[in-house]
Amino acid sequence: YFNWARHAGGTHSGHTGPNEAEEGNFYLYLEASRNTPSRIAYLQSPDFPETIKRVSFHYHMYGVHMGTLTLEGFDGSRWLELWRVAGQQHGNHHAPWTRKEVDLSAKTIRKVRFKGVTGNGPGKLYRGDMAIDFITLTTSKEVSAGHWSKSGDDIYFANGNVGIGIKDPKADLAVLGNLSKALSGHIAVAKGSAHVTGVDTWFTKEVALGDSLLIGDRVFLVKEIRGNKELILNATHPIGAFNATVYTDSDLFSVRTGAEVSALSIDKSGNVGVGTARPATKLDVAGGIKVGSETRCDAAREGTIRYNDTSDEPEFCNGRTWTRVEGPVGAQGKQGDTGAQGQKGERGEKGEKGDVGPRGLKGEKGDTGPQGPKGEKGERGPIGPMPPKGDRGEKGEKGDPGPVGPKGEKGDTGDAFWSRSGTDISYASGNVGIGAAAPKATLEAKGQLIRQVFMATGLGPNDGTDPAAGGRQIKSRVLNFTKLHADTAIRILYSDTLRILGGDNHSARWEIRINGAHPPGGAIYQDKHTHSHENLDPTTILGYATGVPAGNHQIQVWVNLTPGYTSDTYTGWLNSRWTLEAQEVWVR
């Protein structure tokens, strides 16, 4: 069943729909989630006795999966398309609603209908919540007392006046009874029970202790609020109710400007607000108050405030006469003592520099100064010519051999093949040390190490693959890996944003597989579970794959069913980054 729904506030899906109604608290909208592709819903007016001359309404179409909204009219034999718009028309939740007025004066239309069609295309098209509000139809003839005297639930028309709960209204609008508004969602209460449970309700925000609730044709008081979906009544319900709408007392009066700003309001407790929709006291004014010049002051007007134009000051009536707000003027006091001498003032700023005086007389010749320092040594002169080379002398006789030196001591035997080589590399007792002269482990290194790691990463995409029996591969998340040894393990780390969409008790399992199968030494996976409408978490899965033979392999991400659960899953979120990392390691 797919139809227009009455709603207040934002819709249930993210990135689509308005954040509030255009007029009042409620509007009509189509929920696109699980209602695509191309599902149709109609909202049809009654068949008016006179022709419709004009239709005006407001619409809001925010969401990248938006479908089509059409206004159609029936001319007596067939439906005609009067207006149509398709695709996203608004940029965000808070974008102002768009008003549309359609002139039908040249046509013979007696009833109209809105036709909403959800988006069409592959994938999950949940961002397509279209909404309409504030619909006004103008016919060719005014409704008078002769056309109706009573309609709806106790609504009367007489002598141009409308009465609600009163048969003979004396004013343009006369209301006898309480004003009420519907709460969000629906409730259920068992027969003989005072315990109320709700679906899509907001008890903590919409009601308070002591508020009255109309459930069916019975009125109760709120005794206890246990959360948005649970409350306790002051008495048991004699017959019970299921999937029912609950009504509570509404504010008595509200006037708003064309910009939807509250100008005047009277809440259900009788508090009056001027410029505020939530008056906290009997009179709550958001702004200044202008008081006029009242003249009468008597017992009936005790406590009245006025502004005296003569003395230019506010005054109040004490029941007998007007008096100043701060009390009567007192007698003039005695002259006070002379105050102490003030502190010395700060030093003034420095004056500007004066003009340069006239040049003085020439002075006498000074004494001879001391002798200056010795000058630097001059440069060396050029080298003279080289004399001719002399003759070579005769070769001398060979000298006698020197004595043999003593034999050196025998060196120590090394620990193994080598004791030290390279740059600070040592070997001792079967252990190798890098930067360590006496290694205690098979390999001991002091300093930074660089290791080889296989890695794949990316920004998105938001993969909407859902789980199925046996699992489904997330084909956008793969890593190719070469394993060198058969008796080692693969350390695998997977980081991503994992999302579950749906109501209570939904779950799914994300698995790490190698070449489409679980590692021989045991599966690597993580289950995600949600108790709310949506669970969206950044998640890291870390595991060790053992029993994998040497050679080339592909590391993959799969999504699978959790036994006993179903879910609507997304792997990744918008442009969030994902990473797959693998390293071959020895495991004890």
- Four-point Cα dihedral 252, 258, 260, 261, nearest 10: -80
What does the block give as tokens for 65? 């999966």
pLDDT of residue 261: 62
Close Cβ partners of 575 (under 8 Å, ≥ 6 residues apart): 459, 460
Host H or E run for residue 203: helix 203-206
The region that residue 121 occupies, defined by phi over 0 for left and psi between -120 and 50 for alpha, beta otherwise, is: left
- How far is the C-alpha of 7 from the C-alpha of 10, rounded, in Å? 8
SS3 55: strand
Q: Determine contact, residues 547/568, Cβ cutoff 8 Å.
A: no
Give the CA count within 13 Å in the CB-facing half-sphere of 450. Answer: 0
Please check whether residue 207 is in contact with residue 172, taking contact to mean a CB–CB distance below 8 angstroms. Answer: no
Provide CB contacts within 8 A for 349, sequence distance 6+: none
Regions in the chain scoring below 50 on pLDDT: 143-152, 413-421
Q: What CA–CA distances, in Å, run from 298 to 312, 323, 500? A: 22, 13, 71
- Alpha-carbon torsion angle 551, 557, 559, 563, nearest 10: 50
Strands (E), 218-282: 218-227, 230-233, 241-244, 246-249, 253-256, 262-266, 272-274
Cα–Cα distance measured from residue 557 to residue 514, given in angstroms and rounded to the nearest whole number: 9
| 468 DSSP assignment | B
Per-residue H/E/C for 324-350: ECCCCCCCCCCCCCCCCCCCCCCCCCC
402: tokens are 């020197």
Is residue 431 within 8 Å of residue 439, measured between CB atoms? yes
SS3 301: helix
Structure tokens at 140: 């060719």
Q: Do 5-139 and 454-585 fold alike per CATH?
A: yes
Taking the CA atoms of 351, 357, 360 and 366 in sequence, report the sign of the dihedral they define.
positive
- Confidence at residue 195, expressed as pLDDT on a 0 to 100 scale: 95
For residue 157, the SS3 value is strand
Sequence-distant (6+) residues with CB within 8 A of 316 are 303, 304, 305, 306, 322, 323, 325
Q: Which residues pair with 305 in a beta bridge?
A: 316
- The token pair that represents 526 in the structure block: 């993580």
pTM to 2 decimal places: 0.32
Maximum Cα–Cα distance across the chain = 157
Token pair for 180: 């009420």
CA distance 135 to 102: 11
Phi-psi domain of 277 (left: phi exceeds 0; alpha: psi -120 through 50; beta: other): alpha
Side by side, the strands of the sheet bearing 195-199 are: 180-182, 246-249, 212-215, 218-227, 230-233, 195-199, 186-189, 241-244
Q: Does domain 180-249 have CATH number 2.40.30.180?
A: yes
- Say whether 204 sits in a helix, a strand or coil: helix
DSSP-based three-state secondary structure for 205:
helix
Q: Where are the domains of the chain?
A: 5-139, 180-249, 256-285, 288-318, 417-449, 454-585
What is the fold, at CATH topology level, of the domain defined by 5-139? Jelly Rolls (2.60.120)
* DSSP bridge partners of 479: 555
- The predicted pLDDT at position 414 comes to 47
Q: What is the pLDDT of residue 444?
A: 75
Confidence (pLDDT) at 327: 55
Structural tokens at position 368: 């001879």
The CATH number of the domain covering residues in 454-585: 2.60.120.1340
